[in-house]
Structure 1
Amino acid sequence: MYEPNVVGDWREYDERAGLRVRVHRLERSEPPRGRDDAAEGLTYFCLRVTVENRGTRHFGVHLEDGQIDVRIGPDGESALVDWRNSQFIEGYDVYPLRRATAVLYGAGPEAALSRVDVQVQLRVDEEWTERALWSGVVGPEGQGGCAPSTAVRDSLAHQVSDFLRAQAEEGTA
């Protein structure tokens, strides 16, 4: 059973030794160059996607608008993403022991921000990685982080995974 990462978790890429990525700092934040007219009545939030290289060789990383999908609320509706204010990683070489961070601004109805899913698909050295999903909640302005979402930890998928794990352990005992 596939379980999403919680906002703040690192995700390692097995096929690219040392390369890892995470979505973090999901918080309320107004964009630096003003609000998008389409965001009238919506609450803005900001998130960061960091790519880190803990390996021994450099990786050419590309992460732009079509490679990040943000869904909000229990029905997974698309968030308004403010591309004008967002900053991406475009053709950047991430050398060993270095990081690169993309900053994304989005907006949605206040009630829907209790659940945010972010799907990321990196392009590394001109090859696509598999998609990875992070789930969390938008924290208060200035919080600088995000507490793990209880909706994610207590979801039906998580309960089923726990049940199957317990059954497997009983079978081997």
Structure 2
Amino acid sequence: MEKFISFVVVLGFAAAMLLQCAAAQTVHVVGDSSGWVVPQGGAATYQTWAANNNFVVGDILMFNFVTEQHDVVQVPKESFDSCTSANPIGETITTGPTNITLSDAGNHYYICTIGQHCQLGQKLAITVSGSPGAAAPSTPMQPDSSSSGVFASFLVSLLSILAGFLF
């Protein structure tokens, strides 16, 4: 009976951890290993990157850039299209790297305001879903390689091993 109670306690703890992991946000490193730079491939570089990611409210965009060489600001679509920061949504972030939490669903637009960087393709447009289940159906399923997904897999493995010792 004592082993059973111990197992139930461990199982409850594991279930709570798995629920936390399932609700955890994903950190998207903008541009992957290239970071937030003037892309050699022009605006298509960030368009392709965005198309290969699913963005959900609560996720984090990590802009990796060198302070004083780049910045990032969210702008409305009209400002994005014309590469102007005349109508910023929030403050221009000049210290890199920086994280931006996606707090609402819809279309989000980001540009670099330094020199001609935006005109040269350093601009990002993404669509943010309201929940993980609202992702576009045409997006292929990919394995969860986020830290929360890896941790959840580890926790399930650990629980299986523990159950083997208790029973």
Larger radius of gyration: 2
Of Structure 1 and Structure 2, the greater strand share is in: 1
TM-score (norm 1): 0.26
Larger proportion of helix? 2
